[in-house]
Amino acid sequence: MRCAILYSYAKERAGPLKPGVDTVEEAVKTVVAPVYDRFHLVPVEILKYADRKVAELDRHVPSNVKKVSSQARSVVSDVRRDGVSGFAKTVYSKYEPTAEQCAVSAWRRLNQLPIFPHVTNAVLPKAAYCTEKYNEVVVSSAEKGYRVSNYLPLVPTEKIAKVFSQN
């Protein structure tokens, strides 16, 4: 039941992805509905028998498949415990240092290419200007009460500059 509530909550807030979600949902209903219609009146004993057979098959499932399944359960329990935004913050704080290291490493390698530093010197000031303007627009629209601005992230320009200047 909680999964259904979570699904409907996510579906309501899918924004521009909602038509795609509806299309996928209809496709799943088209496939699942005949199966459901056929088996929803099956006696409980037959379902118990099928459950035992699935348990027997479980012994033959590779361990990596079971590991992924347990990880998925862990993610679901974390989302239930912390909420979606709490879970997102946890994931962000956990993987942000790794992402920074990868970005710095890629930056170093790209700077070894002969033309890349010249292109960077030409493009970087304009990119910095555009990100500052973007951040200003998001902040000012939030101050004016536009609700969509609450969903737009700010570009952490100071942090980006700090990470790349240290390395």
Q: Over the chain, what is the mean pLDDT?
A: 80
Q: Domain span at residue 132?
A: 118-143
Q: Is the separation of the CB atoms in 132 and 157 below 8 Å?
A: yes
CA nearest to 148, candidates 133, 163, 137 = 137
Whether 134 is in a domain gets the answer: yes
The whole model's pTM is what? 0.45
Whether 127 is in a domain gets the answer: yes
Check residue 152 and report its DSSP letter: S
- pLDDT tens figures, 80-96: 888 777 777 777 778 88
Whether 129 is in a domain gets the answer: yes
Q: Is the separation of the CB atoms in 157 and 135 below 8 Å?
A: yes
- pLDDT tens figures, 42-100: 677 777 888 788 777 777 777 777 777 777 778 778 778 887 777 777 777 788 888 88
Tally of structural domains, the chain: 1
